[in-house]
Amino acid sequence: MPIVLQRIYHEHPESEGRRILIDRVWPRGISKEDARLDEWMKEIAPSPALRKWFNHDPAKFEQFKQAYKDELTQDTEKQTKVKELKERMANERVVLLYGAKDELHNHAVVLKEVLET
pLDDT in tens, 30-58: 998 888 899 999 999 999 999 999 999 99
Farthest CA pair distance, the chain: 37
pLDDT single digits (tens) 51-92 = 999 999 999 999 999 999 999 999 999 999 999 999 999 999
Short-list 37, 36, 40, CA closest to 25: 40
Q: Going edge to edge, which strands form the sheet with 3-7?
A: 3-7, 94-98, 18-21, 39-40
Tally: H helices and E strands in the chain: 5, 4
Q: Are 22 and 98 in contact (CB under 8 A)?
A: yes
